[in-house]
Amino acid sequence: MLDEDKDHIEQLKSTLYSRTAPDIRTRRKLRFSDHESEIQKEWGDSLDEPVPTILNKNYEDHSMSFFTKLLIGSIIFCVLAIGVGSYLFFNGSNLISGNNIDITIDGPVSIPGGEPVSFDVTVVNKNNVDLQVVDMAVDFPTGSADPANPSKELKEYRQLIGNIATGATAHETIQALLFGEENLQKEISVTLTYSIKGSTSVFTKTKTYAVILNSSPINMTVNTFKEITTGQVFDMKVDIKSNSQQILHSLALQATYPFGYTFVSSDLKPLSDNASWIIGDLPPGAERIITIHGMLKGEDGDTRSFHFIIGAQNSTTGNGVQGSTGIASIGTEYTTVQQDISIQKPFLSLKLAVDDDSTTADVNSRFGVTHTIKVNYFNNLTVPISNVQLSVHLSGSAYDRGSVQAEQGYFQSATDDITWNQQTTPALSSVAAGDSGQVEFIISAKDMSTSGRGVVDPVVTITANASGDRAQESQVPETLKVITSRSIKVSSAISLSGRVLRTVGPFTNTGPIPPQVDKPTTYTIVWTANNTTNPVNNTEVTASLPAYVKWLGIFNPSNEDVSYDVNTGVVTWNVGNLAAYANSASQRREIYFQVSIQPSLTQVTQAPILVNQASMTATDAYTGIPLSASQNNLTTRFSTDPTYQESSGVVVK
């Protein structure tokens, strides 16, 4: 009996781990039948009868799996969807659809720019429901204007159509002026906004219409170089010409300059921004040319873009009146032009050397100092440059044409120009690729002040220009202007004068004259600080008193900054800023102070020193260089005093 039970267990175990056995692990439940079993309470050699085990030996599962149900549900949904779709397709005419709304725009496909044009818009409702509160919005492209007011930009036109019944048609006519360049395509967009009864939703339908401008009402071209050198002054000619059959009213021109551009001038006066011009009315066929002078700086190889816009002024600005910002306010844009200019290395480089200083910094000098100026040139091209001409223009408040000595070159004193060409310098007839050379001249600065007019911040300015013939290339300048420039700045000349007074001045002096041994005698010392052409800063005067001279501690004017160091015996006058031409009575800076001396027996027959040599220092505010001056010793010989006699300055017993 035990062996038989063991066989059943082994069979069950084998079935559990068999790959071909029915999948009893996925069964939702096992099928059992009720059976009462008697449980043996003690061990015995054998059981009286076997315990039957009821088990579904075939492991069959008659329930439906999840995937089977999912497949059946999908098939049912697909059948329902096809049915509903078919019903809507064949019997859904009562539903609203934008496809059942036809928008037709009738108009020319090609129009002349600036001429009035009309477009007819037709809306047909093919739905079986009414369209309610239909609103039509027409969006116009940039450069559109109102025919009733051409200076007014037309961006959008709106019209409330109202309700459109089933099968009904609505018509609207729109008019506009379209501006732009020739062969430019413009698009007009019509958008309907509507709703239907019983719904709070708002629906839209849009239709666009393209039109080509077969001509422009106004042509604008910009004529200038396509290549320039950095720092070169050049011209841009903006040519504006009317192609319209009507008068173009209240025109304005706007320019947008690139970084590095500096406006210099224009033949038509601009507004305060130097980039807007009021053109006014332009009759049919009329033409206006505006020449703009300016300078562009940048790195070699840079490309800079200029943008120009021509259009009608904003109607709120008015004809000939600039806006509050100083910029012409364009209401309707007619056409735009972009002009690109590249910055290239000049085909002929120039450098100015002042006394072998070939940097670009200013040179500091003094009146009467002679300078040798060298003009160095270099051919940057890979081909020769012929007929080279160099010129130097001289100017400045310290320029002295009488000091000019031009080696080989021709000096034209009437225009202050020195010119070198192949006639004066044969080497300039042709400069080979990569070749270089130099010419030179001599000049000195001169004080050009007069009694009635003083020259402030004197300078000599040297400007070099070059030109030459190169392989012809369109829109590339052959004459280079303002290639390089150097300045010779002349520093101011400061000076310090000193006097000894006895009977005049702000103080009363006492003691015997001539001075006597062992008796005190007082003197008034006067320092005067002088300056010429440029203001100077941080001016200071210092001097020491001999050990036998006593500082009395009084000075005039009392508001001057004067101090005395008892340890070193140094008197310091902090002058501070000193104006140009401070030697005039109104600008003079002067200080009076009093000292005392009690001569010794060893000083008999001598004129003792009252103040040792004084030094004056300052910084030129124009050139930035330090300046200095000095004043010799002052003694008891007070020769500038009106009562002075030769014997009055020598010590006696």
CATH of the domain at 537: 2.60.40.1170
72 is in which domain, residue-wise? 1-34+43-86
Tell me: do 454 and 322 sit in the same domain. Answer: no
Tell me: do 439 and 526 sit in the same domain. Answer: no
Q: What is the pLDDT of residue 542?
A: 97
Q: Please indicate, yes or no, if residue 156 is contained in any of the structural domains.
A: yes
Q: Could you give the percent of the chain with pLDDT greater than 70?
A: 84
Type of residue at 504: V
Intra-chain end-to-end CA distance of the chain, in Å: 167
Pairing of strands 479-490, 363-365: parallel
The CB-side HSE value for 478 (13 A sphere, CA atoms) comes to 12
Helix (H, G, I), strand (E, B) or coil at 67: helix
Q: What is the pLDDT of residues 65-121, one digit of tens each?
A: 777 777 888 888 888 878 766 655 555 445 677 788 888 988 888 888 778 888 899
Contact 417, 390 (CB under 8 A): no
Tell me: do 354 and 452 sit in the same domain. Answer: yes
Type of residue at 203: F
Name which of 129-143, 538-552, 578-592 the model is least confident about.
Answer: 578-592
Type of residue at 353: A
Tell me: do 293 and 418 sit in the same domain. Answer: no
Element (H, E) at 449: none
Q: What is the pLDDT of residues 216-231, one digit of tens each?
A: 788 899 999 888 888 8
Q: Please indicate, yes or no, if residue 91 is contained in any of the structural domains.
A: no
- Examine the fold and report which residue of 473, 490, 507 is the final residue of a domain before the chain moves on: 490
Tell me: do 486 and 542 sit in the same domain. Answer: no
Among 531, 518, 540, 528, smallest CA distance to 634 is for 528
The CB-side HSE value for 628 (13 A sphere, CA atoms) comes to 5
Mean pLDDT of 588-597: 94
Alpha-carbon distance of 541 to 613, in angstroms, equals 11
Quick one: pLDDT band at residue 276, thresholds 50, 70, 90? very high
Q: Please indicate, yes or no, if residue 221 is contained in any of the structural domains.
A: no
Contact 373, 462 (CB under 8 A): yes
- Examine the fold and report which residue of 343, 376, 392 is the final residue of a domain before the chain moves on: 343
Q: Please indicate, yes or no, if residue 579 is contained in any of the structural domains.
A: yes
Q: Please indicate, yes or no, if residue 637 is contained in any of the structural domains.
A: yes
Tell me: do 473 and 521 sit in the same domain. Answer: no
Tell me: do 645 and 531 sit in the same domain. Answer: yes
Contacts 24+ apart (CB under 8 A), 61-65: 61/26, 61/27, 61/28, 63/28
Q: Please indicate, yes or no, if residue 25 is contained in any of the structural domains.
A: yes
Its pTM stands at 0.52
Contact 410, 424 (CB under 8 A): yes
Among 240, 384, 222, smallest CA distance to 294 is for 222
Tell me: do 640 and 528 sit in the same domain. Answer: yes
Type of residue at 84: V
Type of residue at 594: Q
Among 184, 64, 171, 60, smallest CA distance to 118 is for 171
Type of residue at 428: L
- Examine the fold and report which residue of 490, 509, 524 is the final residue of a domain before the chain moves on: 490
Q: Give the chain's domain count.
A: 5
Tell me: do 441 and 538 sit in the same domain. Answer: no
Average pLDDT, the chain: 84
Tell me: do 499 and 631 sit in the same domain. Answer: yes
Q: What is the pLDDT of residue 239?
A: 94
Q: What are phi and psi of 643, to 5 degrees?
A: -100, 5
Among 190, 120, 110, 113, smallest CA distance to 157 is for 190
Alpha-carbon distance of 344 to 189, in angstroms, equals 46
User: Is 46's pLDDT higher than 80?
Assistant: no
Tell me: do 372 and 505 sit in the same domain. Answer: no
Element (H, E) at 36: none
Quick one: pLDDT band at residue 350, thresholds 50, 70, 90? confident
Burial class (CB in 10 A: 0-12, 13-18, 19+), 39: exposed
Q: What is the CATH number of the domain that holds 207?
A: 2.60.40.10
Q: What is the pLDDT of residue 45?
A: 52
User: Is 399's pLDDT higher than 80?
Assistant: yes
Q: What is the pLDDT of residue 313?
A: 83
Q: Please indicate, yes or no, if residue 92 is contained in any of the structural domains.
A: no
Q: Please indicate, yes or no, if residue 104 is contained in any of the structural domains.
A: yes
Tell me: do 637 and 526 sit in the same domain. Answer: yes
Structure tokens at 335: 């056409």
